Structure 1
């Protein structure tokens, strides 16, 4: 049965970051994800999470203000990639997150893809207990980002053939890139290892955009998916006042007698 996680970088921003896990637990989320948990010591996150499972974190992107968006596909930045990945792997392991989204960075061309594949192969060997995630990001939100197409991501995954590297299906990005998120889902669902949801087209509370979330979560349930469905959206109002979608999905996928 799917478990539902709150993206604490985007949700509950009415309070400071370390206060958000408690609000997420109170709201009924099963866990959390944090994009970049690097601004606070791990021990502070451990105390703040207080047992709330952490689903996934991202590798450190580098200097965001200077345009860095990760390094995995950036030729010549292999050293920076390895440093950022090892740091992420350490934080993920200490916080109990079994998944790390490996940020590709701003790059293009065959050499970038070769660098990406080589870095992912190295990372999979260095952290065999972690599931590594690739997430295509639409070019409007992140211009120049190397991984900007779900078909491209699936091809790279097929070429790698590594069981511990999977696809992060973000409904928002799938819709922005390909127009029809449901078609993307059905085309690549065998690769999908982590799911993120948001409303479309405004990226507010999940729902709409021609994508049936209830059907999605029911399909995941029937397939025996025991991973996460993470809420990564921009609340249209205070987060706690827009969580009707969560209770509806939890009720729909709740086992009989549960």
Structure 2
């Protein structure tokens, strides 16, 4: 039976970020994930988590200077010290709201950059970060992003991500398998899930071509979710999609998978 987590960077956009935790709980979600919480203090996020009674299952390391086009630091040789500082900040947040998984965002590959130098930096940073995370009981995730939506992103190939994981060999370094990105990048999605299941530590879903909810796009998600069940995946599945209408209107598909109905208002 799938277990779904609401991605608060995509869903409930009509609410301020700290109010989205309660909004997700009101729609029956027991778990949430999000991208970058750093506009708010770790204490403020932890307070919102506790008040809503949800579990945070995943969030991202800092992106760097977003205004200058940075999308992560892990593969940038010139930002090694900044990466370590970013990981320290990430661990502070993970500790505050007890999040078990952290997506280590790789970063952009600048035009003309030395790919081999970036790969070596990426490997060194991940090996160091995995060792630090292991002592805190945290898992690190690698997520390849498709080049159509993220041109120039360093980590876009799922086979390369698997190689990085196997070469480093840290048991707490796993693949964040976003079905949307995998379908756009590689296709043949069922066979890819079957082959890469041993390395998958977290799953996210959205429907190509426009990153919409299941039932609105080209993937038969009932079949895909049954595939994860058949292969024994028992982790969380992050709903990282752009709702066609409102978030609440987009959730009709999920009721068939055991998410409890929204809370009913009590009479005054």
How large is the RMSD of aligned CA atoms in angstroms? 1.7
1:19 is matched with which residue? 19
Q: Superposed, which structure 2 residues align to 1:207-246 within 5 Å?
A: 207=215, 211-246=219-254
Quote the Cα distance in structure 1 between the aligned partners of 2:13 and 2:202. Answer: 23
TM-score, normalised with respect to structure 1 = 0.91
Is residue 145–residue 155 contact of structure 2 (8 Å, CA) maintained in 1?
yes
Show structure 1 runs of 4+ deviating over 6 A: none
The DSSP-based 3-state class of the residue aligned with 2:57 is strand
Quote the Cα distance in structure 1 between the aligned partners of 2:117 and 2:7. Answer: 33
Residue among 81, 90, 95 paired with 2:83: 81
2:257 is matched with which residue? 249
1:98 is matched with which residue? 100
Is residue 147–residue 153 contact of structure 1 (8 Å, CA) maintained in 2?
yes
Q: How many pairs align?
A: 251
2:121 is matched with which residue? 115
Quote the Cα distance in structure 1 between the aligned partners of 2:33 and 2:241. Answer: 12
Is residue 76–residue 122 contact of structure 2 (8 Å, CA) maintained in 1?
yes
Quote the Cα distance in structure 2 between the aligned partners of 1:159 and 1:179. Answer: 25
Q: Superposed, which structure 2 residues align to 1:127-206 within 5 Å?
A: 127-128=133-134, 129-206=137-214
Quote the Cα distance in structure 2 between the aligned partners of 1:24 and 1:207. Answer: 20
User: How much has 1:242 moved relative to structure 2?
Assistant: 1.1
User: How much has 1:4 moved relative to structure 2?
Assistant: 0.9
In the alignment, structure 2 segments of 5+ residues that lack a partner are 260-268
User: How much has 1:120 moved relative to structure 2?
Assistant: 0.5
Quote the Cα distance in structure 1 between the aligned partners of 2:250 and 2:220. Answer: 18
User: How much has 1:207 moved relative to structure 2?
Assistant: 3.4
TM-score, normalised with respect to structure 2 = 0.88
C-alpha distance after superposition, 1:81-129 (max 9, x if no partner): 1111111111012111100000111136111111111101100111211
In the alignment, structure 1 segments of 5+ residues that lack a partner are 252-258
Quote the Cα distance in structure 2 between the aligned partners of 1:28 and 1:216. Answer: 22
Say yes or no: does 1:52 pair with 2:54.
Answer: yes
C-alpha distance after superposition, 1:139-164 (max 9, x if no partner): 12222111011111111111111110
